[in-house]
Amino acid sequence: MAEDTLFSGESKNVEYKVTVPEKSEKYMKTVVAFANGRGGRIVFGIDDKTLEIVGMDVDNIYKTMDAITNAISDSCEPAIRPDVALQTVKDKTVIVVEVFPGAERPYYIKSQGMFEGTYVRVAGTTRHVEDYMLKELILEGKNRHFDSEICQNMKITDDEIEELCKSMKETAIRNTWQDSEKAKVKDVTKNVLISWGVLKEEGGEVYPTNAYALLTGRMFQQPVIQCGVFKGTNRAHFVDRREFEGSIQEQMEAAYQYVLEKINMGMTIKGMYRQDVYELPTDSIRELIANAVAHRSYLEPGNIQVALFDDRLEITSPGMLLNNVTIAKMMEGYSRPRNPAIARAFAYMKIIEKWGTGIPRLFEACEEYGLPKPELIDFDGDFRVNMYRKVKGEFGVNGATTQTTQTHQTTQSKGSTLSDDDKKILELVHNHPSMSQREYANELGWNLDRVKYYLRKMKTQNLIKRVGSSHSGHWEVLAEVDQWQN
C-alpha cells in the first residue's frame, strides 16, 4: 500500500495501534475481522487519535514481530498467516501486519468460540458479527449459497412446480419485446430448475430451495419491497408510501411501476415528432430494482427500500457487498452473484441482463440524460445506489429540450397503452367483480401467478381498486369502459 494511503487515517482496511497491547485480544478482533472481509493492515507505532508516528522500540522490534505472528497463529481458528513487515517513516520504524482475505470463513478468536469470537469490519470499525452475517460467512466458507439451500418445512407437488415453470415462461415472453424473439423462449422444466438451484435433488427426492420459496412468494416471513415518496431531501416528511408483497419478481415489477408513476414526464422534440421521456432512464431504474432483489442478502431480516426524494431516487438493499466485490470493481463491470439461483431465474425471465453490466450502463445512461453521476454506497451492513434527479429547469436526452410534467397520469391516458391481456382481465373484473383470483385464473385459462401479476399491475396503475377485505370484498374498475371494450 502506498505511504500516503497507509498513513492517512484509519479506514475499512487500516487500523492503528500506538504499541502492541499486552492482551492480544485487543487487536485479534481486528485480525479476524480483516480475514472475514476484504483484508487489511494493522500498523503498530502510530497513535490512532492524533495520527502521530511514534515508532516502535527498534532494539526489540524483531522479538515483537515474532510475538505478533505467534499470537495470531495461536489465537485464531482457522489458522491465519499474516505478512508482518517493517516500514520506516520520518525516521521512525513501524510494524505493518497485513491480513489477507481468508477462504475458510468464518475466522474467529479460538478462546471465545465461533459464535462469540467472530468479528467483521463495518464502516471502518470492528464489530461482533450479527447472526445473519455469521450464517452467510459459514455458507461462504463452504462455497454454498442461501438461495440454493433446501427450504425447511416446505413441501411441493409436481403441479406446483409445473405452475412455476409456466409462470416463468409467461414472464419471459412478456418481457421479450420482439415477436420474433418470443417464439425462441424455451420451456422451463423441473430439471432446468434443479440445474439452476431453484430445486434440489437428494436421495431421489426433489425439494424446494429458498429460491423456489422466494420466486413463489411462499418463503416464511417473505420479505417485501418498501416504496415511499418524501418531501425534500430527507426522510422527515412522507408524501406517499407503499409495500409490495408476493413473489420477488412481482414485487420488483410493482416497485418499478410505482417509481414510473411518481417521477416526472417531459417531452422531447426530434425532427417533426414529439416524444415523451421520463426524467430518469427507465431501463436503469428497472435494472437497479431488479439487481437489489437478485443480489440482496436474504439472511438479513430487512427489506429493500425504494425512496424518491426531491433530488434523487434512492435504492437500498440489505447486506454488505460480498467479499472480493468492491465499488471500483463494479464500476468496471465485475459481478459476483450472492444468489446465483435467483440470478439465473431472473436472467431467463428477462428481468436482469448479463451479470455485471448494469452499473456501467447506469453511468452511461445518466451521462446521456445529462444527470449527475450516480452514487454507490457500501455502508453499515447495506448497499445503496443514488440516482440524482434534475430538480429545477428542463431535462432531456443529449440536450434535447423538454417541458416537465407530472406522471400522475389519468386512467384515460393509461388506457391507450393497455395490452390485450390487460383488457381481458379488466373486462372479467368488470363483469364479475366478486370472483376470487383462482376463479379468474380458471375463467381465463391462466395460472394463478399470472392473474395476481395483472391484478397487482392494474391496482398499481389505478385502473382497479379493492373494496372491502381480501376474502369478502370485491373489485371496482376505475378505467372508462371505452378504454378496454374495443
Q: Cell numbers 412468494 correspond to what residue?
A: 217
What's the whole-number average pLDDT of the chain? 87
Instruction: Tell me: do 335 and 398 sit in the same domain.
Output: yes
Question: pLDDT grade, residue 403 (50/70/90)?
Answer: very low
Instruction: Tell me: do 13 and 133 sit in the same domain.
Output: yes
Nearest to 150 by CA among 207, 193, 202: 207
What's the pTM value of the predicted model, to 2 decimals? 0.77
Greater confidence (472 vs 268) lies with 472
Instruction: Tell me: do 22 and 115 sit in the same domain.
Output: yes
Question: pLDDT grade, residue 414 (50/70/90)?
Answer: very low
Q: Tens of pLDDT along 28-79?
A: 999 999 999 989 999 999 998 888 999 999 999 999 999 999 999 999 999 9
Task: Indicate whether 132 pLDDT > 60.
Answer: yes
Host domain of residue 125: 3-142
Mark out the alpha helices in 148-241 (DSSP H runs). Answer: 158-174, 179-182, 190-196, 210-216
236-245, 280-289, 453-462: the lowest-pLDDT one? 453-462
Q: Tens of pLDDT along 337-394?
A: 899 999 999 999 999 875 556 788 899 999 999 999 999 998 877 999 999 998 654 4
Q: Tens of pLDDT along 17-37?
A: 999 998 998 899 999 999 999
Total residue count of the chain as it appears in this document: 486
Q: Tens of pLDDT along 117-126?
A: 999 998 788 9
Identify the domain boundary among 408, 437, 463. 408
Count of domains observed in the chain? 4
459: CB partners within 8 A, 6+ apart: 465, 466
Greater confidence (168 vs 477) lies with 168
Cα–Cα distance measured from residue 66 to residue 77, given in angstroms and rounded to the nearest whole number: 19
Cell of 4: 500516503
Q: Which pLDDT does position 322 carry in this prediction?
A: 83
Greater confidence (360 vs 229) lies with 229
Name the helix (H) or strand (E) containing 265: strand 264-270
Planar angle of CA 144, 149, 152, nearest 5 degrees: 150
Instruction: Tell me: do 121 and 155 sit in the same domain.
Output: no
Q: What is the CATH number of the domain that holds 77?
A: 3.30.950.30
- pLDDT, average across residues 177-191: 91
